[in-house]
Amino acid sequence: MRRILLLAASTAAVSLGVSYAFAQSGSVEKAVGGYGFEEAAKEAAGTKDFHSADGHLTFAIVTHTAGNGFFDPVYVGATVAGNLIGAKILLLGSESPTDDPAREIEILNQIVQDPTIDGLIMTTPQAGAYNDIVKTAEAKGIPVATTNSFDGTILNRNSLSHTGQDASAAAIAGEALVKCLADKGIEKGSIVLPSSTAMGNIEVNNRVTSAFNAIVKGLKDAGKLENFKVDAGPENTGIDTNPNDPVNGIVTLFESRGDVVGAFAGNNVFTPALAKAVAQTGKTGKICAYGFDLGPAQQDALKSGDLTGALGQQPFLQGFWPVMQLYLQIDRGIAAANLDTRAQLVTQETVGDVGKRFEN
């Protein structure tokens, strides 16, 4: 019996040894080309002296509105990326709480002349306004990446990486609005999409159009489109509303229609205004109101119920990835690669999860 037990124990030990050997048999110690991965993973010798030749990389990120909080997580993401690669990140932007491309361009024209800059990241809300910036930067050997708003006409677009949310993501809010109407048992009424093309932000125009199309499609698929009037203006880019007095503009819109049951706003100007208009007209919880971005005002409105839902752009990525992309271009020679940050639909039930790590 003792001999049998010893044999069984010996067999088990061999089996364990074989199992361990199999677990390690897939490990890769070096590249097929013969080089070691540890050595290949090291930063290139000249990377820290790229362009400015001052022993460290310096990237500037410039936005068109640093005054309303939306870009705070963008700056956090850029800082995190800079810490990972040992780069200095200059956080710049218009001080205005509303879109201010003119001030952003003024800052860009100054920073692109700074001899210490090794890379430039910028938002591009005003299509066609940034070609001179790109031309100057490229002439100086400074790589450029764009983030957040997209300018498809920008100089050398295909050689510049872009990180941002495609406007088609607004369809998620449109679909949610239709579902909200069904959940509330609302069978008819007006759905309005206030905005302003005067702000010159083509991305916002496209968001409104995407949301409008999704609402129309959702109602049509449900066989209820004829019961509702969905209005996004004559070009489906938004009902023209004064961006300098958006709350009163939306209140007036509600009162003039008299039967508003749903609304969508496409940016950080009109979404907080929509929430205030809902509260002022006593429509909290009675209509389906959706908007964009997840700044403090939007989060408060979601908690109070003045907003039914809001779409986040996952802006942390809009700061993090452009920094990493410029670094990869400099250190690895990797061509510009785009990143779509998609959308995060946040409601009263999920707003408590937002911003715990400064990510939204």
Q: What is the pTM of this model?
A: 0.77
Residues 6+ apart with CB under 8 A from 282: none
DSSP string over 211-263 = HHHHHHHHHHHTT-GGGEEEE--TTSS-EE--TTSHHHHHHHHHHHHS-EEEE
- E strand or H helix that includes residue 81: helix 72-85
> How far is Cα 135 from Cα 60, in angstroms, rounded to an integer?
17
> How far is Cα 270 from Cα 76, in angstroms, rounded to an integer?
25
Q: Strands 344-347 and 309-312: what pairing?
A: antiparallel
Residue 286 reports pLDDT greater than 80: yes
State the pLDDT at residue 211: 98
> Nearest to residue 277, comparing CAs of 237, 235, 234, 239?
239
Residue 195 C-alpha from the chain's centroid: 20
pLDDT digits (tens, 9 = 90+) for 243-266: 999 999 999 999 999 999 999 999
Residues 6+ apart with CB under 8 A from 350: none
**Angle CA 51–319–358, to nearest 5:** 140
Residue 207 reports pLDDT greater than 60: yes
> How far is Cα 330 from Cα 48, in angstroms, rounded to an integer?
9
> How far is Cα 283 from Cα 277, in angstroms, rounded to an integer?
8
Residue 334 reports pLDDT greater than 50: yes
> Nearest to residue 351, comparing CAs of 304, 281, 288?
304
State the pLDDT at residue 203: 83
pLDDT digits (tens, 9 = 90+) for 119-153: 999 999 998 999 999 999 999 999 999 999 889 99
Q: Please tell me the CATH code under which domain 58-165+315-341 is placed.
A: 3.40.50.2300
Rounded alpha-carbon distances, angstroms, from residue 220 to 15, 36, 214, 223, 228: 64, 59, 10, 5, 10
Q: Tell me the two tokens of residue 253.
A: 């819109």
Of 200 and 342, the structure prediction assigns the larger pLDDT to 342
State the pLDDT at residue 355: 78
pLDDT digits (tens, 9 = 90+) for 152-202: 999 999 999 999 999 999 999 999 999 999 999 999 999 999 999 887 778
Q: Tell me the two tokens of residue 150.
A: 């997209």
Q: What average pLDDT does range 61-81 have in this prediction?
A: 94
Report domain extents, the chain: 58-165+315-341, 168-312
> How far is Cα 66 from Cα 74, in angstroms, rounded to an integer?
10
> How far is Cα 268 from Cα 272, in angstroms, rounded to an integer?
7
Question: Position 267: which residue type?
Answer: N
- E strand or H helix that includes residue 251: helix 246-257
Mean pLDDT over the full length of the chain:
92
> Nearest to residue 215, comparing CAs of 195, 197, 190?
190
98: pLDDT confidence band, cut at 50, 70 and 90? confident
Residues 6+ apart with CB under 8 A from 41: none
> Nearest to residue 114, comparing CAs of 45, 54, 47?
54
Which CATH homologous superfamily contains domain 168-312? Response regulator (3.40.50.2300)
Residue 3 reports pLDDT greater than 70: no
8: pLDDT confidence band, cut at 50, 70 and 90? very low
Residue 67: phi and psi, rounded to 5, are -95, 0
Residue 24: phi and psi, rounded to 5, are -95, -5
Residue 330 reports pLDDT greater than 80: yes
Identical fold at 58-165+315-341 and 168-312? yes
6: pLDDT confidence band, cut at 50, 70 and 90? very low
State the pLDDT at residue 360: 66
State the pLDDT at residue 99: 86
State the pLDDT at residue 15: 46
How many CA atoms lie less than 13 Å away from 318 in the CB half-sphere? Answer: 30
Q: What average pLDDT does range 1-15 have in this prediction?
A: 44
